[in-house]
Amino acid sequence: MEDIKNGIIGELGTPSEFFEAFMSYIDLSKTSLFISAASILFNPTFWNIVARLEYNTHALTKIAGSAKKGCYALAVTIFSLGIVRDILYERALRDQPYCARLDIPPTKMLAVLLFVYGNVLVLSSMWALGVTGTYLGDYFGILMDDRVTGFPFNITNNPMYYGSFLSFVGTALWYCKPAGIVLSGLVLVMYLIALQFEEPFTGEIYAKRERERAAAADGKKSK
């Protein structure tokens, strides 16, 4: 425990001293840091705008020829952007100062645990939802029959987002780069913002389906 205390945070001092020490490991002169941040900002913004556009205009469905093909095209695009974001993140970490205090066994163990657990959340949620469930199929009118409540959704409603965040933190700790922790925080903030738009809108999509089903059932009864 003493190793963790001294190795990870050292002597904290006052909050301003800790902040100054932490910021000393972040090189703001490196362009790669801002390129990585821009990618993190862009990805969820992009897929939310495109998904809303599809819902309102069916543009991707018309271009691709069907809702399923349009959803798969968006899935490939989002997945590719995610790979680019991860590459830019790794390059940004390479350019940032190394913190020797983080280079101790407990930190490495924590980094591995966070990375593995984060990826388990991401991959298991993708398995549970399938391609269309993972990549905004509901905006294309491809709705799931029932809400997924098994693992990992019995842990959190948004395992892919939180799992991705944990993977970013784990990577930052493994390479002992405090700048990575800042970028990881930006990932979490962007996901939380995205959820403010996605969850109510998705909820309304399914609520609309239930209203239509109820209206159809009432119509049959009246006949």
Q: Is 189 annotated as a binding residue?
A: no
135 marked as part of a ligand binding site: no
Is 219 annotated to bind ligand? Answer: no
SS3 letters across the chain? CHHHHHHHHCCCCCHHHHHHHHHCCCCCCCHHHHHHHHHHHHHHHHHHHHHHHHHHHCHHHHHHCCHHHHHHHHHHHHHHHHHHHHHHHHHHHHHCCCCHHHCCHHHHHHHHHHHHHHHHHHHHHHHHHHHHHHCCHHHHCCCCCCCCCCCCCCCCCCHHHHHHHHHHHHHHHHCCCHHHHHHHHHHHHHHHHHHHHHHHHHHHHHHHHHHHHHHHHHHHHHC
Q: Is 116 annotated as a binding residue?
A: yes
Q: Does 198 show up as a binding residue in the annotation?
A: yes
The annotation places the binding site at: 116-118, 198-199
The annotation places the binding site for S-adenosyl-L-methionine at: 116-118, 198-199
